[in-house]
Amino acid sequence: MHPADAARQLQYAVASETNTYDYEVSHWEAHAYEDVFADVIEQGELSDVMAVVETLGNEFTEESRPSPARARSVADDVLKSNGRPLTDGGERTDE
């Protein structure tokens, strides 16, 4: 899965959760989460990506949307809960 595909899944999740098909995550908002999705795709599995999509989708309301920082927190929680070590974002040494 590519980060843009995960962002589209978030759009679909929000539309189905709210039962109003005109209420979707805007292109900009979906793009704001792509870096988070890229990290989850790299460090986790498809189920981890979908867990992040589901959690974020459930937090969307007409009045508020999760910030990119909140998306990062959700992703970190998903990755950590599945036993994957979190990094400090520094350079990779295993390449």
**pLDDT (tens digit, 9 = 90+) per residue, 40-95?**
999 999 999 999 988 988 888 777 788 889 999 999 999 987 655 555 555 555 55
For residues 33 and 55, give the distance between their C-alpha atoms in angstroms, rounded to a whole number: 13
For residues 52 and 33, give the distance between their C-alpha atoms in angstroms, rounded to a whole number: 10
Per-residue pLDDT of 22-39, as tens digits, reads 445 566 666 778 889 999
pTM: 0.70
- The answer for 64, left when phi > 0, alpha when psi is -120 to 50, beta otherwise, is beta
Cα–Cα distances in Å, from 42 out to 2, 9, 38, 75? 10, 17, 6, 12
**Phi, psi angles (nearest 5°) of residue 4:** -65, -35
Q: Check pLDDT > 90 for residue 20.
A: no
**What are the tokens at 81?**
């809960």
Q: Are 3 and 38 in contact (CB under 8 A)?
A: yes
pLDDT value of position 76 = 92
Average pLDDT for 8-28: 63
